[in-house]
Structure 1
Amino acid sequence: MLVGGPSGRPAFRSLLLVVVMSSCSATSLAEERKQLVMREKMMQIGGRLVLKKEEELANEKLMALKKAEMKQAMKTQQFPPSMHFFQAKNLIEKSEVFNILKKMPKGAALHVHDFGILSMDWLVSNVTYRPHCHFCLTRNGVLMFKFGHPTPPTPPECLEWILLEKYRQKLQNVTEFDSSLLRNFTLMTKDPEVTYANQDIVWSKFEAIFFTISGLVHYAPVFRDYIFQGLEEFYQDNVFYLELRAMLFPVYELNGTVHSQEWAVRTYTEVACMFRKKHPGFIGIKLIYSDRRFQNVSVITKSVQRAMMLQTKFPRMVAGFDLVGREDTGHCLYYYKEALMIPALQGFKLPYFFHAGETDWQGTSIDRNLLDALILNSTRVGHGFALTKHPAVWIDSWKKDIPIEVCPISNQVLKLVSDLRDHPAAVLMATGYPMVISSDDPAVFGAKGLSYDFYEAFMGIGGMAADLRALKQLAMNSIKYSVLLDIEKKAAMKIWEEKWNDFVADLARRPS
């Protein structure tokens, strides 16, 4: 029967209705999809920022490069954020996106440790060549250093001090010796998965590094130079303000004189002031006094009291207190509750910046550090790696506007996550949770400044959704969530905006 015949009209009308309905459904499906995509875009970090015309042009240039790198990575199956940083570093340094990020004004580094900020090459090539530098090998096979004249007293763990200058004179291959020193100062290795089969091994080496370099960096002349050079390295990476976790270990002179913690804080202040005079646009530094989380309650009680004293004495330099070290093997925050409640009970405002949630062990007492960090009103949370596993903490922290300090490379190297596309911060970035990007101990990981961590966050954690808006928001967050006074934040934001506008203009002019 023909559809055009009298008896075929109902069939034709039905067919026409189906065509119209399918067309409506397709239109409505496309519209619904578009709206859903837009909603997700608005939710992600930086999603509500409105870019200026020049920023839009710069964003097009940046995203074209990002898409090209992503496309190439999908073809070769070599994507730096999915690889261990030690194996990806050379690839990252060849990336055009990375070279743009190096030029980007990143604002502030809010989660870095005092003696992990300067490339270890400097310690080898500069510090170990200074006069009166001695070394020894401990009974456990760990290197120790000490400056002294005459030869310093030999500690129990050392067999004997050897003057480095004389030792090098006897060597046939000094370059190889210096390379071996560098291997003792960083975690870098060609085959990290084999060298560091588990977290215990990598943390053991990580902690040994700080033990090894302590005798170098706590020598007073080196201490001053290290701070200056560390600031220089971050400044060259377009970072103009730092908040350092500092344990303020004793600093010593050549004759054995040991300085107080107050002396150390004053020295930080003096060096930062000198650096600021020589580097226009540099804002400065602040210290977050820290102690190790394996200490007993009485020790931490004294540390909290010392933090209160230091903050009272140096209100413009000492920002607050933190507990540092490996979370999985240290005491939980709740263990220290009596000590940590002292400031509040005395009506003293001591800001906390707790490392919390730097663990894969869900539901343990250590994992619950996130709960206690929230209850104790931590100003920021260091790492916060486990936050997405704690929905109530997540919601309440968001309400209180408590940001997390995300350190991508640190989390990967210390074996919390292998592929940075799987980092929990991907969920947090997608939902617009407040965060800053930092680098923890870049020198120990073979990185510099913040650019490597920004690359990992931008390319891996943020995925294809992260664009110039995300980068802009992360940089602004670093100022917003710093402990600078409001008037200082306004000044810092003005400096950053000028640098940002120059960066955007250069990027927009870049040939396609």
Structure 2
Amino acid sequence: MESPPSTNDRLSRPTTSNVLETQEQHFLGASLILTNEEKIVNSHIMKLKRFELEEGFKNDFDLIPARHFFEKLEQLNSSKLFQLIRRIPKGAVLHIHDSSMGSTDLLINATYRPYLWQNGRFEQNTPPTFLFSKTNPTGMGWELVSDIRNEMKADIYDEKLRDLFEIYTKDPINTYRSTNVVFEKFRQIFYTLAPIINYKPVWRQYYYDSLKVYYDDQINYLELRGVLPDVYDLTGKIYTPEEIVQIYLNETERLMKNYPSFLGAKFVYTPARFGGDDVFRGVINTFKSLHEKFPNFVAGFDLVGQEDKRILLLNFVPDLLKLPESIQFFFHAGETNWFGMESDSNMIDAILLGTKRIGHGFALIKHPLLLEEIKQKQICIEINPTSNQMFKLMEDHRNHPAAFLFADDYPVVVSSDDRCFWRAALLSHDFYMAFVGIASAQHDLRLLKQLAINSIRFSAMDKIDQNKALRKWEGMWNSTMSTLASDILSGKLA
């Protein structure tokens, strides 16, 4: 039987402060050294963070990250810490979807275009159907949107549209009682939106306006995922995938011409993971053609769709292995709470296929061997905090598994997924949740800075363009730090 430790043994052990200090040296961003101006900003931002955490520690029912996003949205938007985070340049956006990258207002504005028809009213059990057409579409019940809007009054009609285009509700807990319910509403939004957003003039303008919104928020580069749907015009023409990508490229170049500091965008082809072998082989052929024609714009391949529907990445491996090695994978994987069920294997197959990034990776922490691979191979995890809460993977951001990734300097970025559908800001809401809810109370400005650096470092840009983007971001960051430090010292920023 071992003897109890002596007093000298106990005294020679590390103290709590020693352990905490050593632990903090492993934090994401811990190696960064702050300038004097950054230290001033850091002191202020940590004061705001500690205040919110202390108030939440007294009553965690009032802690913003602990409650559903919809319940605390008004309080969040008025938070001084959130307002400060909005001003900080956040680098690039690496995980967004094309049809939800803009805003609901942009979508509603699109319904003011002429020749938009509607079949069905809002009070019916199924959502109305929309279509742009010069003449009344075939079938009963079609009415011009302009006529319905005039009848109902514009503000009332537009609010009905907003309810259709968003999953927002004042009672999220009872409205969305399971992940499947959320996904069903999600699919319904896409189905309803498709005939509106897939109309070529809307498609083109929505994409350009969305890029401009990101640019205005000091985001100079983004990578969007898209399914390349049937884009159409009033002549009845259905545009090919090549023509759709060309529209993207044209609008990207138009913004770069109008705003030279914008560094551009890349496209990740992300078809649905549903469909038979013949359908998927057609998808693969389409992607190969796009990659050959637009090698600098079509950055990679992904698959989208609810993983818990048991359509596994493994099913597509034989065809994926036939793609050229020059093609990069950015797979959605691990967006599940199930441990050991079929959908839990997608992360394994994504890594075995050589994915460069993993979208969500929520289940990653349950797989120690995969964690080792992630760190060794520097496979970036695209964390989407607000999205994960929306789809009920967790209710309280303090329980988000990315806390472990932040604590041990894993390769991660923070992004916003389908943020338009739940009224989230471009990146600021997700950065706030990461900083206050997921990260340690001791994580400071260095975390936010490292997340921004990572968003460029793990992008699909080549090294030359990455270095160019990093220099551009550093200029924005330093300028912002100088302004914020001045505002803090002068008392303008309380």
TM-score of the superposed pair, with normalisation by structure 1: 0.91
Match of residue 376, structure 1, among 338, 348, 353: 353
Asked if 1:281 corresponds to 2:229, the answer is no
Query: Which residue of the partner structure matches residue 48 of structure 2?
Result: 65
Distance 1:289 1:307 in 2: 7
Counterpart for residue 341 of structure 1? 321
1:479-503 CA deviation, whole Å, 9 max, x = no partner? 0000001110011000000001011
RMSD between aligned alpha carbons? 1.8
In structure 1, C-alpha distance between the alignment counterparts of 2:177 and 2:10, rounded to whole Å: 54
- Please report how far the alpha carbon of residue 295 of structure 1 lies from its aligned counterpart in structure 2 after TM superposition: 1.7
| Matching residue of 1:12 | none
Q: 1:181 aligns with which of 136, 155, 161?
A: 161
Structure 2 Cα separation of the partners of residues 76 and 388 of structure 1 = 29
Q: Which amino acid aligns with 2:363?
A: A
1:243 aligns with 2:223: yes
Q: When the two structures are aligned, how many residues end up with a matched partner?
A: 481
C-alpha contact 2:310 2:342 (8 A) present in aligned 1: no
Q: Which residue of 127, 149, 156 maps to 2:134?
A: 149
The whole-number CA distance in structure 1 between the counterparts of 2:189 and 2:219 is 25
Q: CA deviation at 1:75?
A: 3.1
Instruction: Please say if 1:123 is aligned against 2:107.
Output: yes
**Aligned residue for 1:14?**
none
Q: Does 1:112 align with 2:96?
A: yes
Aligned to 2:65: 81
Cα-to-partner distance string for 1:8-35 (whole Å, 9 max, x where unaligned): xxxxxxxxxx9xx79x966x56x63333
- Note if contact 2:407-2:440 (Cα within 8 Å) is conserved in structure 1: no
CA distance in 2, matches of 1:89, 1:505: 30
Please report how far the alpha carbon of residue 434 of structure 1 lies from its aligned counterpart in structure 2 after TM superposition: 0.6
- Aligned counterpart for 1:410 among listed residues 357, 369, 387: 387
Q: Is the CA contact (8 Å cut-off) linking 2:384 and 2:414 kept in structure 1?
A: yes
One-letter identity of the residue aligned with 1:272: T
2:141 alignment counterpart: 160
Counterpart check, 1:445 vs 2:422: yes
Alignment-mate amino acid for residue 403 of structure 2 = A
SS of equivalent residue, structure 2 residue 213: helix
Deviation at 1:50, TM superposition (A): 1.5
Provide, for residues 402-434 of structure 1, a one-character-per-residue CA deviation record: whole Å limited to 9, x for no partner: 011000000001111000110010111111111
**Is 1:234–1:448's contact at 8 Å kept on the other side of the alignment?**
no
How far apart in 2 are the matches of 1:141 and 1:371? Answer: 39
* SS of aligned partner of 2:16: helix
Report the alpha carbon displacement of residue 279 of structure 1 after superposing the two structures with TM: 2.3
Q: Residue 472 in 1 paired to residue 449 in 2?
A: yes
1:305 and 1:39 map into 2 onto residues whose CA distance is 51
Aligned position for 2:200: 220
Partners of 1:116 and 1:376 lie apart in 2 by 28
Matched to 1:286, the amino acid is K
Contact 2:241 2:286 in 1 (8 A): no
Runs of 4+ in structure 1 displaced over 4 angstroms? none
> 2:381, 2:106 → 1: CA distance?
31
Asked whether 1:392 is paired with 2:377, we answer no
**Sequence identity (%):** 38
Q: Shift of residue 76 of structure 1?
A: 4.2
Report the equivalent of 1:15: none
Find the residue that maps to 2:225 and give its secondary structure: strand
- Aligned to 2:119, the other structure's residue is in SS state strand
**1:351-408 Cα distance to aligned partner (Å, 9 max, x none):** 1111000000100111010100010001100000000001111101211100110000
Task: Map residues 411-426 of structure 1 onto 2, 5 A cutoff.
Answer: 411-426=388-403
Match of 1:38 among 6, 10, 21: 21
Structure 1 residue 49 and structure 2 residue 26: aligned?
Answer: no
Q: What's the CA shift for 1:454?
A: 0.5
Query: Given that residues 200 and 233 in structure 2 are in contact (C-alpha distance below 8 angstroms), is that contact kept between their aligned partners in structure 1?
Result: yes
The answer (yes or no) to whether the contact 1:118–1:226 under 8 Å persists in 2 is yes
Deviations 1:205-259 (A, max 9, x none): 0111011111111111111110011112222222111101111112111221111
Opposite residue 482 of structure 2, the aligned amino acid is A
Q: 3-state SS of the aligned residue for 1:315? A: coil
- Contact 1:301–1:340, Cα closer than 8 Å, also in 2: no
The alpha-carbon deviation at position 55 of structure 1 amounts to 1.4
SS where residue 282 of structure 2 aligns?
helix
**Aligned residue identity for 1:363:** G
Distance 2:271 2:458 in 1: 22
Aligned equivalents of 1:37, 1:170: Cα separation in 2? 65
Whole-Å separation in 2 of the counterparts to 1:117 and 1:330? 27
Does 1:312 pair with 2:292?
Answer: yes
Partner in structure 1 of residue 335 of structure 2: 358
* Distance across 2 between alignment mates of 1:37 and 1:306: 52
Rounded Cα–Cα distance in structure 2 between residues aligned with 1:448 and 1:377: 32
Aligned partners of 2:118, 2:91: CA distance in 1, in Å? 38
Give the secondary-structure state (helix, strand or coil) at the position aligned to 1:412: helix
Instruction: Name structure 2 gaps, 5 residues minimum.
Output: 1-5
Q: Structure 1 residues 48-57 or 238-247, which shifts more?
A: 48-57
Give runs of aligned pairs for residues 87-106 of structure 1, distance below 5 A.
87-106=71-90
| Whole-angstrom CA distance in 1 between matches of 2:444 and 2:183 | 34
- TM-score by structure 2 length? 0.94
The structure having more radius of gyration, on CA atoms, is 1
- TM-fit CA distance, 1:330: 4.5
In structure 1, stretches of 5+ residues that fail to align are 1-17
| Aligned partner of 1:433 among 401, 405, 410 | 410
Report the 3-state secondary structure (helix = DSSP H, G, I; strand = E; otherwise coil) of the residue aligned with 2:426: coil
SS in 1 for 2:342: coil
* 2:465 is equivalent to residue 488 of structure 1: yes
* Aligned residue identity for 1:380: R
Whether 1:497 and 2:474 are equivalent positions in the alignment is yes
For 1:360, give the aligned amino acid. Answer: N
Q: Distance in 1 between matches of 2:453 and 2:145?
A: 46
The answer on whether the counterparts of 1:356 and 1:383 sit within 8 Å (CA) in structure 2 is yes
Amino acid at match of 2:19: L
CA contact (8 A) 1:304 1:321 kept: no
**Counterparts of 2:370 and 2:282, CA distance in 1:** 29
SS of alignment partner, residue 466 of structure 2: helix
> In the aligned structure 2, how far is the partner of 1:301 from the partner of 1:104?
44
The one-letter amino acid paired with 1:137 is: G
1:144-165, Cα deviation, whole Å (9 max, x unpaired): 21111022344xxxx5322111
Q: Which residue of 2 aligns with 1:191?
A: 171
Corresponding position of 2:3: none
* Contact kept? 2:329, 2:354, Cα under 8 Å: yes
1: CA distance, partners of 2:310 / 2:291: 26
